[in-house]
Amino acid sequence: MPDTEFDPERVVVRDKRRLDPESGELREVPGETATEPAGQTPPAPAGDETPEQLAEEEDKLAAELTADLQRLSAEYANYRKRVERDRLAMVEAATAGLLGGLLPLLDDIERARQHDDLTGAFRSVGEGLEALTDKLGLQRFGAVGEPFDPQVHEAVMAAEPDPSASVAVCAQVLQPGFRLASGRVLRPARVAVAEPAAPPAPSVDTEL
């Protein structure tokens, strides 16, 4: 076996560690380059939209905001209408309750007028009360000769048939009716109703 002598100058040590033991940084290995995985492309940097894309997004956002504003405006308009309608209904109900309680007094004033008893201080009070109810929208209705309407008239008795009438009419007003200017009836008019008279039977010629 040949005798070999160790030569320290011929020993070569290669450090293949990827990290530098002193700095801790990654070493660059000759012949190696960083490459992207096959089949993948680097993502486009954020905010790299074209002017056309930006304009389209702005138009879409403006359309959404406009639609939201229109919806809110319509909802608010409906809310205001509903509140106003409820307010008017409450005012009408309160007015109807007040005027309904005054109807017997108005009947007494009218009867006193018909009997020439509406004089002196009573006349001033009566006319003042009637003026107030007129201002609040109270309307008197019911007149002889007007067509009978079961929606506003209450038939309490039948009168003689009216030969000149083509429909049932009010032949007599026993108690006037009252309603508000809105058409709400507070009290129907109590009337006597006359039906149209039957036409006379045709004469029969009996000549032979």
* pLDDT tens-digit readout, 42-101: 554 555 678 888 888 888 999 999 999 999 999 999 999 999 999 999 999 999 999 999
CATH number for the domain including 187?
2.30.22.10
Mean pLDDT of the chain: 83
pTM: 0.61
So what's the pLDDT on residue 164? 85
The arithmetic mean of pLDDT across residues 121-147, rounded, is 94
Output the pLDDT for position 17: 63
- Which domain, by its residues, includes 180? 138-198
Q: Do the domain assignments include residue 52?
A: no
Predicted pLDDT at 49: 75
For residue 162, being part of any structural domain is answered with yes
Residue 3 counted as domain residue: no
In a domain, 16, yes or no: no
Instruction: Identify the sign of the CA torsion 8, 12, 15, 21.
Output: positive
Domain membership of residue 145 (yes or no) is yes
Q: How far is CA 19 from CA 14, 30, 33, 34, 35, in A?
A: 14, 14, 16, 16, 19
Residue 60 backbone dihedrals phi, psi, to 5 degrees: -65, -45
Is 165 inside a domain boundary? Answer: yes
Residue 193 confidence (pLDDT) above 70 = yes
- pLDDT (mean) for 90-119: 94
Question: What is the average per-residue pLDDT within 100-106?
Answer: 95
User: Which pLDDT does position 50 carry in this prediction?
Assistant: 86
Joined tokens for residue 85? 């309608």
**For residues 17 and 54, what is the distance between their CA atoms, to the nearest angstrom?**
50
Give me the pLDDT at residue 165, please.
Answer: 84
Residues 6+ apart with CB under 8 A from 159: 171, 172, 192, 193, 194
With 70 as the cut, is the pLDDT of residue 21 above it? no
| More confident site: 22 or 106 | 106
**Structural domain includes residue 149:** yes
Question: Contact 148/169 with Cβ under 8 angstroms?
Answer: yes
